[in-house]
Amino acid sequence: MRRRLLPLPAIVLLACTAGGSTEDPVMAEAHPDGTPNGTALFQMHCTLCHGKDGRLGLSGAKDLTLSVLTRDEVSTVVAGGKGKMVGYRNVLKPGELDAVVDHVMALRSATPSARP
Ligand code: HEC
């Protein structure tokens, strides 16, 4: 009986530390200076449908590297949502939203071969 009880706290501890960190330990919601980390926020909120490189296209999501939207239009879609995509107006703070939009715009140049 005593041997069965011992491992439990160890497992709980492990689960807690594992849950607290993201896949990549370098990724935090904000940079050390407090500015939002758009890449990390994108991975947290957007990769589910768009994938890490923006090209996954799950449940009808657009390939973000092929998007022709302007920065303002991307900002509007991310804030207000579109079709099956929910808006992130109430999830992300304005500064975070900006950082995510920056990341979305950067995805296009990160994979130039994806452009037609
Ligand atoms: C639940 C799945 C889902 C998640 C999560 C999601 N999206 Fe989307 N996204 C979609 C779908 C579906 C569309 C296509 C909407 C349409 O055109 O009807 C889309 C479209 C877009 C577009 C427009 C692309 C274009 O050229 O029309 C942008 C930009 C975008 N998403 C960015 C994001 C960002 C940034 C996040 C995270 C903050 C995010 N998405 C999270 C599903 C998702």
In a domain, 21, yes or no: no
The C-alpha atoms of residue 37 and residue 28 are separated, in whole angstroms, by: 7
Tell which atom from ligand 1 comes closest to the C-alpha of 41. 38
- Flag whether 1 is in a domain: no
- The pLDDT of residue 25: 52
Is 110 inside any structural domain? yes
Q: Is 82 in the pocket of ligand 1 (CB under 6 A)?
A: yes
Higher pLDDT, 115 or 99: 99
Kindly state if the Cβ of 108 falls inside 6 Å of ligand 1.
Answer: no
How many angstroms separate the CA atoms of 98 and 100, rounded? 5
- Closest Cα partner for 107 from 48, 43, 58? 43
42-70 pLDDT tens trace: 999 999 999 999 999 888 898 999 999 99
Give how many domains the chain has, as a whole number: 1
In a domain, 2, yes or no: no
Q: Is residue 91 part of a domain?
A: yes
What are the tens digits of pLDDT across the range 88-101?
999 999 999 999 99
| Atom 41 of ligand 1, residue of closest alpha carbon | 46
Query: In this structure, what CATH number is given to the domain that contains residue 78?
Result: 1.10.760.10
